[in-house]
Each structure stands twice: as C-alpha cells, then as structure tokens.
C-alpha cells in the first residue's frame, strides 16, 4: 500500500500556484500534513480525494495513476473535507445509508457498519434526529463516520478537529492512531498538537512547497540545542521579538519567560527541550528565509 505524489503542481485559473512541485511518498501510518493557513494543504487534500485535478505532476496509488484510474482510489478512499454539508431533512442513519449506497456498499453489511460507526462517534442516541438540528461538532462526527464507511485504505482528513470540543478532539486523535495500522491516514491541520499526538510521519508545507518530510523524532532533532528559555523584563519583549524567533511567552513574577528559537542563545538564556511546535516554527522560518530545512 503506497501513495506517491510526484511533482504535483496546482494552479487555479491563471492565478497563483497553490502547489508547486510537491513530492512525497507515504506508506501505512498517520502522515501529519502541517502548514500555515493558505499553505496549500486543502488543495493537496482535494487532489488526493480526486475532487480536483493536478495541473502538473501525478499521484500514484499502489502504482496506479490517479488520472487514469480515479475509481481505483475512490473505492478505498475515506475523505473528510474541511467544509462539508449534510442533508438537513435526513437523520444520521439515513444520511450514512445514503452515502453507503453512493459508495456502492452492500446493504446488510453497511447497515451493521453504520451502527458501529454511530457508536464509535457517540451519536447512537441521536441517530434518528434530523441532521438539521445537529450542532457543528455533531455534524463533524457524522463526517468522521462517513469517512470510515467503506473501511478505507486511504483516509484523508482535512482539519478534522475544527469544531470539536477538547474531549472530542482527544477521542478523535486516539481514533486516528487506532485506525492507522493497516492504512494510510493523511491528517491535514495547522494544529501542531493534533499531529504531535498521532502522526508517525510529518510533512511540513509552506507556500505550496514541501518544506520537510520526516519522522517526528527527526524533525525534533533539527532543533535540538536551538531552543532557549529566556527571562527578560516585559518592556524588552518587543525588542526581543524583532531580533529572535519567539515561539511562546508566559508572564511570571520574575518577568517574561520567552521561548527563543535560535542557533545561539541570547545572553542568560537556558537550553530547554524542543517540542514539535518549536521544530515547526523553526523549519518554516528557515524556509521563508530561503534556507533549506
């Protein structure tokens, strides 16, 4: 089972390129696609979900070209878009039955699977209520259920935790981890903690290009010895921001504790353990500065 994205570029109309020469290979596991807003994540997700066609390059699914055989991927694809709607007059059960029919699933088997999925996303009790009466988070859970309907080998989820409360977010992260064993899960988000909790691989994307693709551990190694905690007076914080990349600050009685990312420490700063957010910000800043990450 392998997904290969080969030099994929996407241009909307005659406007800007949303993706440029994007290359990536992925096998079973959770690939966290991290990037700032407007980086091209949703465009890439749409291409992988066969919603839009790449302007250049190709996507290979198990050595089959997506452009020639889109249904080879579609039949094993689960897709949770960033924005999607539901039919408000249908209830969750009817909506999932409808999508099961659209996906061509066997009636009896899909009925059992829908029951299980509604249980899984904690909607069994409200399965007979019209979707029009659901909250945003509940609709998102219906979206998660529909993405898993056909037992997908490739699960593409675009900003899946948007609209979920903290408890549901944790549940969803755990669910992704559980699902990842025998399938490829691509999790697109700008929330680093979502990726940190689930991803076996991380791809950083910025301005339509791949910045880095590695394991979380390898990514963390890039910023080892480059993260510092610096205590400084509040009045000097703005000046410090001009000079250093600061990933976090917290105000305490002895001043502002700033988390600084730099090759050399500011005067009096102490080295601290790097986390994924540090690595993400460090790589993006290097990319923007034109330095290879």
Which residues within the stretch 115-154 sit at the binding site for other proteins (CB under 8 A)? 116-117, 119-126, 129-135, 137-138, 143, 146, 148, 150-151
The stretch near other proteins (CB under 8 A) out of 26-34, 84-92, 228-236, 270-278 is: 84-92
- Closest contact distance (angstroms) between CB of 154 and other proteins is 11
List the interface residues with other proteins, window 196-225 (CB under 8 A): none
Among 4, 90, 162, 237, the residue binding other proteins under the rule CB under 8 A is 90
At residue 141, what are phi and psi to the nearest 5 degrees?
-70, -35
Three-state secondary-structure class, residue 101: helix
| Binding pattern for the stretch 26-55 against other proteins, x by CB under 8 A and - elsewhere | --------------------xx-xxxxx--
Q: In whole angstroms, how close is the CB of 17 to other proteins at the nearest point?
A: 17
Instruction: Give the one residue of 12, 16, 87, 234 binding other proteins; rule: CB under 8 A.
Output: 87
| DSSP H stretches of helix in the chain | 41-48, 70-74, 92-102, 107-120, 136-147, 166-179, 192-198, 216-222, 237-243, 276-288
Nearer to other proteins, 177 or 285 (CB): 177
> Three-state DSSP class for 238?
helix
**20 belongs to the binding site for other proteins (CB under 8 A):** no
Nearer to other proteins, 135 or 234 (CB): 135
CB 201 within 8 A of CB 32: yes
Cα separation, 200 vs 216, in Å, equals 7
Pairing of strands 154-158, 77-80: parallel
Tokens of 247: 């990933």
Whichever of 79 and 280 has its CB closer to other proteins, that residue is 79
Residue 269: CB minimum distance to other proteins, A: 37
CB of 26 to other proteins, least distance (A): 18
- How far, in Å, CA of 289 to CA of 8, rounded? 23
Biggest CA-to-CA distance, the chain: 68
- Minimum Å gap between C-beta 136 and other proteins is 10
**Which residue in this structure is represented by tokens 């309907």?**
149
How many residues bind to other proteins according to rule CB under 8 A?
A: 72
The minimum distance between CB 128 and other proteins, in angstroms, equals 10
CB of 22 to other proteins, least distance (A): 16
Are 180 and 200 contacting, i.e. CB atoms less than 8 angstroms apart?
yes
The residue within the footprint of other proteins, chosen from 23, 25, 112, 251 (CB under 8 A), is 112
Closest by Cα among 230, 228, 207 to 286? 207
Record the tokens describing residue 122, joined without a space. 């904690």
Q: What is the dihedral of CA 160, 162, 163, 169, to 10 degrees?
A: 60
As a whole number of angstroms, the distance between CA 44 and CA 62 comes to 18
Q: Which of residues 148-187 bind other proteins (CB under 8 A)?
A: 148, 150-151, 165, 167-168, 170-171, 174-175, 178-179
Among 14, 15, 63, 83, binds other proteins (CB under 8 A): 83
């Amino acid at each position: 089972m392998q997904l290969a994205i080969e030099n994929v570029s996407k241009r909307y109309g005659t406007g800007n390129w949303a993706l440029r020469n994007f290359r990536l290979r992925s096998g079973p596991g959770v690939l966290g696609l991290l990037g700032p807003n407007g980086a091209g994540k949703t465009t890439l997700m749409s291409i992988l979900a066969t919603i839009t066609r790449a302007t250049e390059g190709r996507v290979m699914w198990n050595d089959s070209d997506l452009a020639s055989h889109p249904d080879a991927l579609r039949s094993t694809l689960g897709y949770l878009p960033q924005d999607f709607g539901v039919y408000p007059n249908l209830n969750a059960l009817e909506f999932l039955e409808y999508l099961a029919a659209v996906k061509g699933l066997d009636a009896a088997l899909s009925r059992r699977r829908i029951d299980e999925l509604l249980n899984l996303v904690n909607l069994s009790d409200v399965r007979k209520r019209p979707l029009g009466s659901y909250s945003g988070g509940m609709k998102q859970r219906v979206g998660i259920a529909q993405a898993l309907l056909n037992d997908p080998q490739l699960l593409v989820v675009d900003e899946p935790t948007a609209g979920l409360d903290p408890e549901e977010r944790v549940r969803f992260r755990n669910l992704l981890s559980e699902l990842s064993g025998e399938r490829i899960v691509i999790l697109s988000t700008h929330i680093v903690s979502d990726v940190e909790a689930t991803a076996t691989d991380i791809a950083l994307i910025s301005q339509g290009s791949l910045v880095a693709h590695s394991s979380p551990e390898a990514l963390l190694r890039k910023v080892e010895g480059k993260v510092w905690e610096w205590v400084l007076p509040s009045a000097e914080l703005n000046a410090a921001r001009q000079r250093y990349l600061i990933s976090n600050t917290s105000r305490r009685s002895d001043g502002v504790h700033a988390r600084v990312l730099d090759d050399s420490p500011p005067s009096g700063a102490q080295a601290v353990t790097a986390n994924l957010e540090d690595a993400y910000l460090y790589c993006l800043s290097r990319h923007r500065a034109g330095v290879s990450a």
